[in-house]
Amino acid sequence: QVQLVESGGGSVQAGGSLRLSCAASGRAFYNYAMSWFRQAPGKEREFVAGISRTGGYIYYSNSVKDRFTFSSDNAKTQVNLQMNSLKLEDTAVYYCAAGLGVVTSAIRNGIAYDHWGQGTQVTVST
């Protein structure tokens, strides 16, 4: 049974940092695309950052680029998201996602992913 379990969310003041982690289990993930998505209240889910199936490329949304850093072990059983310089607009539930058939052009499309975690809340305040 595939499980993606996120941790590390919490409340932080604007300008602060948090580190999210996702533990993946239940099968081999080395050939999966692994990504972080987020969903704020009243908004659609959006792509944050992710790694390609081959592991050769890491992608970021423009809104987090230069502030967030995606990392993963080689087996992609642990993926992390280091979030620095957090802004109020980063407040959301953050989800870890895994997809076997996610091609590069679809990495930002949540529909392409097979498995999702339960999410972890990140709240940024003044």
Nearest CA among 110, 1, 105, 102 for reference residue 48: 110
Provide the mean pLDDT of the chain: 96
Residue 102 has pLDDT above 90, yes or no: yes
The pLDDT tens digits of the residues spanning 34-75 come to: 999 999 999 999 999 999 999 889 999 999 999 999 999 999
pLDDT for position 55? 86
Exposure pattern of 55-88 as b/e (b: 16+ CB <10 Å)? beeebbbeebeeebbbebeeebbebbbbbeebee
Say how far apart CA 104 and CA 71 lie, in whole Å: 17
